[in-house]
């Protein structure tokens, strides 16, 4: 961008425009992060928290954190992508946990099949993500995040169907609880 401004003979206005644009964007970023961290660090005054976060962000910028931004996004895609497939499979095919929600029953702290599906989905996404964030060993769809969604979906559905006997026992328990609530 600066090369274009310099070529047009607008170096000083270009510096001014880019500085002000970054200023407004980063002011919003600092404000948002200060609000978020003030919830976690309640004993630190908000003014000091803002100063500390500003210093940390400046140091990270000087050290070149932006150069690692794409790797960071790839890591997020590896971790988050399978979750969408797990939700869809649970809602449309397995249905056990959403029935608990519909009946206002207490949610399980950990659903083992979902954790297994998530780990499997992360593994598939990692294996299909291009280097340096992944291994790129194969790619069924050529979009690694989609591979993760599909693998999470498949594993959640298969485990849900394989564990259907256990789930049917839980369904009887849910039905019994529902009948007790409605006095039947």
Report the pLDDT averaged over residues 96-104: 85
C-alpha of 22 from chain center: 26
Radius of gyration of the chain (CA): 25
- What element of type H or E holds 175? helix 164-181
Q: Can you give the pLDDT at residue 175?
A: 60
Answer yes or no: are the C-beta atoms of 33 and 39 closer than 8 Å: no
Here the tokens at position 172 are: 């009887």
Q: Quote the pTM value.
A: 0.68
User: How does pLDDT run across 65-81, given as a tens digit for each residue?
Assistant: 989 888 889 899 999 99
């Amino acid at each position: 961008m600066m090369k274009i401004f310099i070529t047009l003979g607008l170096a000083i206005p270009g510096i001014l425009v880019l500085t002000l644009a970054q200023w407004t964007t980063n002011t919003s970023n600092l404000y948002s992060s200060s609000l978020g961290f003030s919830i976690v660090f309640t004993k630190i005054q908000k003014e000091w928290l803002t100063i500390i976060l500003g210093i940390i962000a400046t140091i990270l910028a000087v050290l070149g954190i932006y150069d690692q931004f794409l790797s960071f996004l790839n890591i997020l895609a590896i971790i988050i992508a399978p979750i969408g497939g797990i939700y869809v499979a649970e809602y449309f095919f397995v249905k056990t946990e959403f029935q608990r929600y519909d009946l206002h029953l207490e949610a399980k702290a950990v659903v083992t099949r979902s954790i297994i599906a998530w780990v499997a989905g992360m593994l598939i996404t990692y294996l299909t993500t291009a280097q340096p964030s992944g291994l790129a060993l194969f790619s069924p769809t050529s979009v690694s995040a989609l591979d993760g969604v599909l693998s999470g979906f498949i594993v959640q559905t298969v485990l849900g169907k394989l564990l259907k006997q256990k789930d049917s026992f839980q369904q009887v328990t849910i039905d019994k609880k529902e009948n007790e609530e409605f006095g039947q």
